[in-house]
Amino acid sequence: MIFYFVRHGIAEDWAESGLDQDRRLTERGRKRIRQCAQALRLLEIKPDLIFSSPLPRAAETASIIAEALSTDPPVHKEQLQPDAANSDFIAECLNANCSSLMIVGHQPNLSEYVAQLAGYGSNLIFKKGTVCRVEMQGEHGQISWLLPPKVLIALADVRQAKQKNKH
């Protein structure tokens, strides 16, 4: 099984309501996530299922990615809210009937889930829009790559340029 962990895009500093849980993506955040999603599409990444935090900034990120990858809409999971990480959620994911799963959420949860699967400390750097791929080998996972948005966008630009040169 392959896991893709994605941190939500750049969000508002504060919501009109004053509640952190209501913060949405900024226009810059939506643009960068669209660019990252384009890179994922060009890398031919297409998860069978996308789980997302129900908070607007993560839900918007997951929806943008799902649309770009032509997958089913994301499934919102309460366990992906900030500071709600628990080991039962990963067990649920491992039992999902799929070969690849994308999880869109928040820090520190994402680092904790990767640490749980791959045995690393929970100090991974997940900038907003970062994608981490973990490949399961039996009961243990291995981090294949962790790409920040700048690298994803650069990959997409190079790939598109190569495709244009072929035509």
- Tens of pLDDT along the chain (167 residues) come to 999 999 999 999 999 999 999 999 999 999 999 999 999 999 999 999 999 999 999 999 999 999 999 999 999 999 999 877 677 899 999 998 899 999 999 998 899 899 989 987 667 889 999 999 999 998 889 999 999 999 998 988 887 787 788 76
Residues whose CB falls within 8 Å of the CB of residue 21, separated by 6 or more in sequence, listed in order? 15, 55, 81
Specify the residue for token string 């904790």.
112
Which two three-digit tokens encode residue 145?
Answer: 């790559």
Buried/exposed code over 45-73 (b: 16+ C-beta within 10 A; e: otherwise): bebebbbbbebbbbbbbbbbbbebbebee
Asked if 102 and 49 count as a contact pair (C-beta separation under 8 A), the reply is: yes
pTM of the model: 0.92
Considering just the CA atoms, what is the radius of gyration of the chain in Å?
15
Residue 94 is part of which domain span? Answer: 2-166
Question: 52 near 60, Cβ under 8 Å?
Answer: no
57 in a labelled binding site: yes
| Cis bond before residue 54 (omega within 30° of 0) | no
- What number of CA atoms fall less than 13 Å from residue 80's CA on the CB side? 28
Structural domain total, the chain: 1
State how far the Cα of 122 lies from the Cα of 112, in Å rounded to an integer: 5
User: According to the model, what pLDDT value does residue 129 have?
Assistant: 96
Give the domain CATH number at 11. Answer: 3.40.50.1240
